[in-house]
Amino acid sequence: MAESFIRRAAGAMNRIHIVGGGLAGLTLGIALRRKGAPVTVVEAGRYPRHRVCGEFVSGAGRSVLRELGLEEKLRSRGAREAKTAAFYAANGAEFMQALPEPALCLPRFSLDACLAAEFRNLGGEFVENERWNGCYGPGTVRATGRRVVPREGGWRWFALKAHARDAELPSDLEMHLFDNGYVGLCRLAGNLVNVCGLFRSRTAVPDLATNWRAMLQGPKDSRLRRRLGKAEFLDETFCATAGLELQPRRAEGRTECCLGDAITMIAPLTGNGMSMAFESARLAIEPMLDYSRSLTSWAETVGRAARACDRSFRRRLFWAACLQRMAFQSVCRTAVVKVGGGWPCLWQWLFQRTR
C-alpha cells in the first residue's frame, strides 16, 4: 500500500508487457502509449509478415481505428472499402447484397507494419524474434493469438491464405461454401485479391505445401474455380495455420489477461475476427491504465477486462457458432444462402447479430 502511494505521488506508472504483436496487442500498446503508460510488446516472429487472415475489418473494429486516428494512416497505405458481399453454395445457390456497413480492406502485411510503426513512433518498446519465457503475472497481457488444439470434435481444422492477381470478382467480398470447407475472397488495392480458406479433415493432409493452390481454388467445375482460373497466385504471400479451436470460450474465470484470439476465435465465415481483436484492445484500455497508475490491483484489472469482453462478444459468438455448424451441413447451408437471397432483411439481421 505504501509503495503504491509513493508511486502515485511520484507520477510513476507500472509498465505493461504485451506478449504478441498482432492486432490486439499493438492496438492496446498504441492506446496506452498515447496515455503515457510505459509499454513493451514482445513478438515471437519477424515483423511484419503474411498471416492467415480475411484482411478486412467489418463491424465495430472500424470505430476503434477511427478513435485511435489509425484509419487515415491505413488509407494512406492503400486500404479500400468493400461495399458488396456475395455468398455461394456448392449446389448453385447464391446471393449478393450491399453490406449494411462498408468494410475496410488492407493486406495484413501492410496493416501490421502500420501498427508497429505507430507504436514505435509513440515511444513503445517493440521486441521482435523473441519468445516470452516469463509468467503471465501482474502487468502482463497475453495477446498471442489462438490456442492450438490438434483436434476438435474429431476434426483437424486448418486454414490457408494467399494473394492472387487478376481474379474476376463481381463483388468486393465473396464466400464460397463446400462440404468440408469454405473460401473467402476479398478485393484489395492493386488488382489483388486475398484468398483465405478454412478446411477440415479427419486425417492429416499430405503435401499441403504443394497442393495449397488446388485447395484454395475449390472443387473442379465450382464457381470459385472459375473465378480463380486465370488468376496468378503470389507464392510469397502463402501461409497456413492448423490446430484451430472454434468452440467459443469465455474470458472470465482466467487468471491471465487475454485479448483477441487468445480469448476465443469467432467462426471465420462471419468476417468479424479482426474487429474482435481491435474491440478487445479497446475494452482493456481503461482497466490497464488504472493498473498502470496503481489505482487497481491486477486481479481487478483482469476481471474488468474479461467481463467487458464477455458482455460485448457473447451474442455474436453464439450466432457465429450456429452459422458455422450450418455451413458444414449441406441442406442447412443451401437454405441459408437461398433465404439470404430471398429475404435481405433476414440476412441483415444475421449480419448484425455477428457484429
Identify the structural domains of the chain with CATH numbers, from first to last: 2-353 (3.50.50.60)
DSSP state of 15: P
The pLDDT, as a whole number, for residue 210 is: 84
pLDDT tens, residue order, the chain (355 aa): 444 444 443 468 999 999 999 999 999 999 999 999 999 999 998 888 999 999 999 989 999 999 999 999 999 999 999 999 999 997 777 888 899 899 999 999 999 999 999 999 999 999 999 999 888 999 999 999 877 888 888 999 999 999 999 998 999 999 999 999 999 999 999 999 999 999 999 988 877 878 899 999 998 889 999 989 889 999 999 999 998 988 899 999 998 999 999 999 999 999 999 999 999 999 999 999 999 999 999 999 999 999 999 999 999 999 999 999 999 988 888 888 887 777 788 888 888 888 8
CA distance 240 to 160: 4
56-57 sheet: strands from edge to edge: 56-57, 94-105, 80-89, 173-178, 181-187, 192-201, 156-165, 232-242
Q: How would you label 271-288 residue by residue, b for 16+ Cβ within 10 Å and e otherwise?
A: bbbbbbbbbbbbbbbbbb
**What residues form DSSP beta bridges with 242?**
158
Residue for grid cell 503475472: 137
> Do 261 and 26 meet the contact criterion of CB atoms below 8 Å apart?
no
The pLDDT, as a whole number, for residue 11 is: 60
